[in-house]
A and B are shown apart, each in its own frame.
Chain A
Amino acid sequence: MIDQLSWKVGGQQGEGIDSTGEIFAMALNRLGYYLYSYRHFSSRIKGGHTNNKIRVSTSETRSISDDLDILIAFDQETIDVNVHELRDGGVVIGDSKFNPTVPEDLNVRLYAVPFTEIASELGTSLMKNMVAIGATSAVLGLPVESYLEVVEEIFSRKGAKVVEKNMEAIQKGADHFNELSGGQIDGFQLNKADGKKRMFMIGNDAIALGFVAGGVRFMAAYPITPASEIMEYLIKKLPEFGGTVIQTEDEIAACTMAIGANYAGVRTITSSAGPGLSLMMEALGLSGMTEVPLVVVDTQRGGPSTGLPTKQEQSDLMAMIYGTHGEIPKVVMAPSTVEEAFYDAVEALNIAEEYQIPVILLTDLQLSLGKQSVEPLDFSRVEIRRGKLDPKQELPVSEDKDGYFKRYEVTEDGISPRVIPGMKNGIHHVTGVEHDETGKPSEVAANRQKQMDKRLRKLQSLRFNVPVVKQAPHEEADILLVGFNSTRGVIEEAIPRLEAEGLKVNHAHIRLIHPFPADEMKSMIDRAKNVIVVENNATGQLANILKMNVGQHEKIKNLLKYDGNPFLPSEVVMKCKELV
């Protein structure tokens, strides 16, 4: 019996590869297994190789695995592209329709099952993916009934007959495989899972849910991979709360519309990826200068320009910290798990309102789109803090000669009282031009300095819960591994392997990118002989930020990958050994 297994299904984009993986994973999630799936896809709708790699485990996992146990192939290309990932003795199940072959020098077992033919006999070739799922069940020794609940949910609105046919397809797939293999094959039976109920979701789902729970009632956004799911969820859910989403003409409109709505007192967000963020840069400066709260999600993908729109990368770091001309206070948060993505989405809204600043919620494609099992979320942790805004407050008549409210009053913590349009005695002016305490344009040097200092002072009082996730059992470590966003899973998986080779390894995962938690990182770096920064970009942006803020350049080494694919645990292990 085994505790974890990797399964992959591949074929041409548009022929149901995603739903095959989805149904398989949902059923196993219901049984209490931990799932982690990562889709390989292209920026096109039909055609081109696509695959969905799913890891099933009896314990939590946040990374794709090095190798593969089972490969389901709907075409020969799937075998040619992926067969080398299979472990020794692994299984390939291909549709007999294309006469699947595997290289002779590999020790893998090939089974040709008539996926399409069985499905066609049952009424439609569309059900070939169910036949494939059935064959998989036979390998794993899972009862066919495990799928009933999921199949019912998906197909019940099409009638009982359709449910029945799909279940029959699964059964036939299983039967056919058992006939071919002559009974169960060894080495693929999973230990029983704990049976606990968990969600099965992508990072974007968690962010979107966090926004709805955190009081977002309006969103303005433009579609883009890999961010659109956030918008799609809010389009579905906000009407239940009286809110709505506008799909704007571009990202500039999305960002400025969000600024307008936040100014008027509604928690409003926008989400995008690199190209969209580039367009929003001027508006981010407006938010900083006018002190209008704003939360923007950047789901990083391969850059620059259009880059690799459907591939993993973490190369927007510097742009998010420094992007926009001039100097503004800004917070850049980087959740490293789906759970954190939920809580951080809520917290981003609070920080934006409390400090009256733009907040970038940074994710990457692997975190945004990797679908995985997630423990139920804790609603009691969802707080709504609006800082110095109380829309129900009655304001006294202002002493200003025009009766203007001091919206930009210079205060000790730099945060000024905030009012929203419609409030009596709250009239003030808002402008991206330098301004005085009531918001009237002013170029007076002393005022400029005061307002600049006031804005930048706000972040000195920033309270941030767990800016660095630390797993640091060693007082003196051979290696400190540093990462951000989705590399958390792969680093956590590499550590025990490195320790098994006699290396003492600490881990710091940075969740607050800006303002940088320099003190916390310094104490971690002081305790390590080598600092290896693991990141999906070509220039070592996080390593450079570390050097800038903490120094100790001689210790800091790069472990980079920028070919569009996420790190594998074995790559991290191998490169760490080379580097020390």
Chain B
Amino acid sequence: MATFKDFRNSIKPNWCPGCGDFSVQAAIQRASANVGLEPDDLAVVSGIGCSGRISGYIKSYGFHGIHGRSLPIAQGVKMANRDLTVIASGGDGDGFAIGMGHTVHAIRRNIDITYIVMDNQIYGLTKGQTSPRSDVGFKTKSTPEGSVESAIGIMELALTAGATFVAQSFSTDLKELTSIIEAGINHKGFSLINVFSPCVTYNKVNTYDWFKEHLISLSTIEGYDSSNRMMAMQTLMENKGLVKGIIYQDKVKPSYQDLAHGYSKDALAKADLKMPEEKFNELMAEFM
């Protein structure tokens, strides 16, 4: 059986020292080993940005696509081979700005993949511009007088879009993050995991200390029930979205693959491509 070390390669990430993304990488590697995966069974699909490089830093099949499109690529991989475990990952700009259309539709489509967002509320690789997760008033290179646009409440949005697994975590809580990713992988359907992963270079507001001060763990809320969508929404709104843990999970709804009419139970990638001649003649006859 593979251990988390088998998911490591020798490539040194080009992230800044202290970047939150290191822990997300480690958590994915640990979670993959913990759920019993072998590196060949895992495909990590990532977007563009600092965090998008993650597909190259994990030893598994990796696909580093184009900006904002990790989700459609990852869904394509899963539809082609349902035996694979597919993780999509990227930053908040990748997923909630340029890729927002895909995020909402991947949520409502509910294909069985896990989407891990490294949310630092800033554009890092392009050197410090505002993100759709930046708070109002946040000063960046592109908002020198402070952002005037509202920040997207992504967890709330996911709930209204019909999400079946919504979780949030913080990159320093390696243990909790690992167990949430495991739960996401094991969830039968689309799982969205938003991870606060501070940018130590360009975001001087939402720092490690800031999150420690503001984030509330759902485990401290008495009677919190992650199967209660209404409670999930209310808790998010009461706490301005700053909660961590599994916020909502629907364990009943079948995944897209289980609902798609005629879709094979076996991996399509293993199917025979040739059809019998009689079948072809039958198809031709339909046009006669």
| Residue ranges of A at the interface with B (Cβ–Cβ < 8 Å) | 30, 197-201, 205, 209, 212-215, 217-218, 220, 237-244, 246, 248-250, 252-254, 256-268, 282-283, 285-286, 290, 374, 376-377, 379, 382, 384, 391, 401-404, 420-433, 439-441
Contact = CB atoms under 8 A, between A and B. Distances in A.
Given A264-B269, A266-B269, A427-B60, A239 B43 contact: no
B9 A402 contact: yes
A222 to B, nearest CB: 11
Given A201-B287, A238-B262, A246-B79, A265 B269 contact: yes
Given A242-B264, A249-B105, A430-B62, A379 B76 contact: no
Interface string B27-47: 000000000000111010100
Contact of A218 (B43, B62, B268): B268
Closest 7 CB pairs of A and B: A239-B262, A260-B76, A215-B273, A242-B264, A264-B80, A431-B64, A265-B269
Given A257-B76, A402-B59, 19 more contacts: A212-B275, A242-B263, A242-B264, A243-B264, A244-B79, A244-B261, A249-B104, A256-B66, A257-B79, A260-B72, A260-B75, A263-B73, A265-B80, A265-B81, A379-B281, A422-B41, A427-B39, A440-B11, A441-B56
B64 A237 contact: no
B73 A257 contact: yes
Contacts of B281: 379
Interface residues of B, number: 58
A27 B41 CA distance: 55
Interface string B255-288: 0000011111011111101110100110110011
Between B56, B264, B268, B280, the greatest number of chain A beta carbons within 10 A of the residue's beta carbon is seen for: B268
Contacts of B263: 239, 242-244
Contacts, number: 207
Nearest to B261: A239
Contacts of A256: 65-66, 69, 72-73, 76
B270 A264 contact: no
Given A218-B268, A427-B59, A429-B62, A422 B10 contact: no
Contacts of B168: none
Interface in B194-230: none
B40 A261 contact: no
A257 B74 CA distance: 7
A402 B39 CA distance: 12
Nearest to B62: A429
Contact of B56 (A215, A249, A440): A440
B190 to A, nearest CB: 13
Between A253, A420, A426, the greatest number of chain B beta carbons within 10 A of the residue's beta carbon is seen for: A253
16 contacts: A215-B274, A242-B263, A243-B268, A244-B261, A253-B69, A253-B101, A256-B66, A257-B75, A260-B79, A263-B63, A263-B73, A266-B81, A283-B66, A402-B59, A421-B84, A422-B81
B102 interface: yes
Interface in B173-188: none
Given A199-B284, A242-B262, A243-B262, A422 B69 contact: no
A197 B53 CA distance: 58
A253 B102 contact: yes
Given A248-B72, A256-B73, A266 B288 contact: no
A439 B62 CA distance: 9
A240 B80 contact: no
